[in-house]
Amino acid sequence: MRILIFNFEYPPLGGGGGVATKDLAQELAKDNEVHVITTAPSRQLKESLGDVPIEEVSGNLHVHRVPVIGRTQVAVSSLISMLTFVPTAGWYGWRLTTRVQFDVINAQFAVPSGLPAALVARLRSIPFVLSFIGGDLYDPSKGVSPHRHPILRWLIRRIAAQATVATAISEDTKRRARELHSVTLPIEVTHIGLVPRKFGTASRAQLKLPEAAQLAVTVGRLIPRKGYRELLAAWADVPEAHLAIIGDGPLRDELTSLAESLGITDRVRLLGYQSEEIKAQVLRAADYYVSAAQHEGFGIVFLEAMAAGLPIVATNNGGHTDFLTTQRNALLVPPGNKEELVKALARLTADTNLQTSMAAANKEDVREFYVDKTSARFMNVLRGAIERG
């Protein structure tokens, strides 16, 4: 099968959605020819990222990076970069489909990826699978979240109307597609998959982390939706624990200042962007994982934490509730509720027996979300779309 995937984010650009697309594409490429159309780094970003090839081929996986305007940050897309991705990706997709006869087209994110994918699919009469990722439908931290913007709601409905079938990364995402955007076509839930990776271990001393104290870790882009302001405010009331934050983004300076004003700089470390190996080592060195995110479409980092054997404290709003059961895998609290977050953090910090039981459950439960299983389910959706025509 020949598969064409559109995603405006793909490593080294973007966050978890791009990483998930790469993992999915690599798994699908074991038995299929897979092409990905994505964003090329700007000249400014190439100075920090080094050489990122415009055309990249690895076995059956072909990555095509197209130019956009205004992509000035690795972690975050600008509005103009997303808008300009539509014509450049659409034009490249049109040209590519003259050379390669694709069986199916997939868009990861309804906007902006869905628009060029839908146009090419329609013009070429190729079955089209639309994948809802979460932030393309709902982001409570943004005033211009798609669910609040009538033009975006209309556009998402129009794109969905062109699709043969849709997928959603969680039951939460599926529900929001139905309730917030009136999407009526069939939606199959196909979870994001985790690639089990083996990295060498490192001690806390080697990682320059506190050796004696309880240590929590959180991973993600430093953006409002991730709830880092709320997390630091709660951390001031959990004096027994230290916190390591992995990730970069526009809130870094603000969070540094906030930690100083709260008097917790001795217990909070902003580690910035880290390689997959260092991230895995920090996860394994920690005692538990914490997230105060307002919402997650899925949250692949929760799977990474589970694989590392970490108990979890998280909010109860998002796709991660598909696999995080309170008391078994995590302590779940309402987003924005500082009192409940502090109580959960204090409880898990103090209760090592609870940490042990959750760690064991998480190592067991995460196996159902390994990428070989989740990609097989996604592949079944692609086959179904082809059969429908």
The CATH number covering residue 62 comes to 3.40.50.2000
Considering the domain architecture, whether residues 95 and 139 belong to the same structural domain is answered as yes
Considering the domain architecture, whether residues 129 and 217 belong to the same structural domain is answered as no
Considering the domain architecture, whether residues 298 and 260 belong to the same structural domain is answered as yes
Considering the domain architecture, whether residues 142 and 260 belong to the same structural domain is answered as no
Of 71, 54, 59, 52, residue with least CA distance to 25: 59
Range of the domain at 90: 2-193+370-388
111, 77 Cβ separation under 8 angstroms: no
89, 118 Cβ separation under 8 angstroms: no
Considering the domain architecture, whether residues 210 and 308 belong to the same structural domain is answered as yes
Is 198 domain-assigned?
no
Considering the domain architecture, whether residues 222 and 361 belong to the same structural domain is answered as yes
Considering the domain architecture, whether residues 286 and 171 belong to the same structural domain is answered as no
Is 173 domain-assigned?
yes
Q: Which 8-state DSSP code applies to residue 211? A: S
* pTM for the model: 0.91
Report residue 313's pLDDT band, with 50, 70 and 90 as the boundaries: very high
pLDDT tens-digit profile of 113-162? 999 999 999 999 999 999 999 989 998 887 778 888 899 999 999 999 99
Is 379 domain-assigned?
yes
**Cα-based distances in Å from 147 to 143, 160, 178, 299:** 10, 15, 11, 20
- Rounded to whole angstroms, the Cα distance separating 185 from 206 reads 52
pLDDT tens-digit profile of 153-184? 999 999 999 999 999 999 999 999 999 999 99
Is 168 domain-assigned?
yes
Is 199 domain-assigned?
no
Is 86 domain-assigned?
yes
Considering the domain architecture, whether residues 357 and 380 belong to the same structural domain is answered as no
Is 300 domain-assigned?
yes
Considering the domain architecture, whether residues 117 and 256 belong to the same structural domain is answered as no
Q: How many domains does the chain have?
A: 2
Is residue 47 pLDDT above 80, yes or no?
no
112 cis-preceded (ω within 30 degrees of 0): yes
**Cα-based distances in Å from 361 to 84, 219, 358, 365:** 45, 21, 5, 6
Considering the domain architecture, whether residues 13 and 104 belong to the same structural domain is answered as yes
pLDDT tens-digit profile of 72-92? 988 889 999 999 999 999 999
